[in-house]
Structure 1
C-alpha cells in the first residue's frame, strides 16, 4: 500500500513541479515587466482609470516600448539621437564603465551576424577525460591573442541546473567538438542535468534514397 501511495505521489510531483516552476517564472517575468506602468502619469494608472490593477498590462506596454524604440532607430534621425544619447552616457563616470560593458555584451549576443551562443560544443572540463557541454562565444582578442599560439576559441561552460552562471575558457579549436545540436536542446540537456537527452540520429544509418536506388540498378 505504501509503495502504491509513493508511486502516485511521485507521479503527482512529476506533473505539478514543472507546471509550478513554469508559472513561477512567468509570474516573475510579467511582474517585473509590469513595473513599466510606473512610467505613466498617476492619472493614467490602471488603478485610477479602472479602479483595479490589470496584470500583464505593463508587459504589453514594455513590448510596445521596445518595438517603438527599434522602429524609431531605423532612420537617419533616430540613429543620430541614439548616437548623441550614448555619447552623453559615456561621459558619466562609473556609469560609463557599466553601460559600455553591458552594451558590448548585448550587441555581441543579439547580433544576427555574430557567433555568440550559436554553436553547442563538447569540451573536456574540468579535467582531461571529463566531458561537458559548452557554447562558443567567439575568439580570443586583445593582448590575450598575442600570447596564444595556434587557433583558439572562446567558450562558455554553464553550470547546472542554473546555466546563467558558469566559466569562461579559451581553448584550442582542435580540442572542442562541434555538436549537431541546437542551443535550445543543449540548454535543456544542461538544465535537466542530463535527464532530458536530445534526439540522436546515427549519421552512418542515414540512407540516401538516390544512392540506394542507383545501387539497386
Structure 2
C-alpha cells in the first residue's frame, strides 16, 4: 500500500510540474487573445457589419508573429530597445517589467545573454552539479590566461539560485537542451534520462584562441 501511495505521489508531482508551465503559457495566450479581441472586434464588426468568429484568434497569431519579425531585424531591435528604455523609466511599471523580462531572456537559448546550454560540473566537495552555462571568460592572475566558465545552479525555484565559477577543464556539457534542463529542475530530477552523454567539447573564447596562436 505504501509503495502504491509513493508511486501515485511521485506521478502526481511530476504531472503537476509539467502542467504548471503549460497552464501559465495557455493563460498568457488567452489573456493576449481576449485583450486584442476586445480591441479589434468592434472595428471588424463596424467594417463588415457582422461578427465573424475566429478573427480575434487570427489577429492574435498575426500580432505575435509581427512582434517576432520586428524583433529579429536590426531596425526593429533598435525600436524595441528604445521602447524598453521608456518603459523602464516608469517607476511602478519597471518593478514588474524588468524582472520578468530578464527572467524570460535568461531562459531563452536564442538570446545573446541567455543560458547557453546545460553544464555538468564534478565538484570534489559537492559531487556532480547540474546547471546552466551562462558565460565563458578569461582571468589573468599573473600566471597567464585561465579559461573559466560561469554556471548558474537553481535552488528551490528556477529564478533563485547561485552562480559558481569553475575552471573550464572541470566542466562537461551533457546532450541536454535548455528546455530539457528546465524540465529536469521543475520535476526535481525525475525528468533526467536513464542514460546521459556528456562532452567537454565547446568553442574557446576568441581571446583564448588568439593567445594560443600568438604563442605558436
**TM-score where L is the length of structure 2:** 0.55
Is 1:122 equivalent to 2:117 in the alignment?
no
Q: Which residue of 2 aligns with 1:50?
A: none
Structure 2 residue aligned with 1:159, among 140, 155, 158?
Answer: 155
Partner of residue 214, structure 1: none
- Quote the residue 1:132 is aligned against: 129
**Would you say how many aligned residue pairs link Structure 1 and Structure 2?**
183
Deviation (angstroms), 1:154 = 1.5
From 161, 169, 173, the counterpart of 2:164? 169
Give the gaps of 5 or more residues in structure 2.
43-54, 199-216
1:34 correspondence with 2:20? no
TM-score under structure 1 length normalisation: 0.54
**1:137 positional shift:** 0.7
Q: 1:64/1:184 Cα in 2 relative to 1: closer, same or farther (>3 Å)? A: same
Matches within 5 A, 1:1-217: 3=1, 6-36=2-32, 37-38=34-35, 40-41=37-38, 44=41, 63-73=61-71, 78=76, 81-82=79-80, 84-86=82-84, 88-89=86-87, 110=108, 112=110, 114=112, 116-124=114-122, 128-140=125-137, 150-160=146-156, 162-200=157-195
Equivalent pair of 1:134/1:157 in contact (CA under 8 Å): yes
Q: Deviations over 1:35-77 (max 9, x none)?
A: 33235547949xxxxxxxxxxx998865543211123456676
SS in 2 for 1:151: strand
Larger Rg: 1
**Distance change >3 Å, CA 146–CA 196, structure 1 → 2:** same
Aligned mates of 1:25, 1:40 — CA distance in 2: 24
SS in 1 for 2:68: helix
User: What is the RMSD computed on CA atoms of the aligned residues?
Assistant: 4.7
1:59–1:122 distance in 2 versus 1, CA, 3 Å: farther
> How many Å separate the matches in 1 of 2:106 and 2:19?
30
Higher relative contact order (CA 8 A, sep 6+): 2
CA contact (8 A) 1:158 1:165 kept: yes
CA contact (8 A) 1:122 1:179 kept: yes
Larger strand fraction of residues: 2
Per-residue CA deviations over 1:161-182 (Å, capped at 9, x if unaligned) read: x333211122222332333444
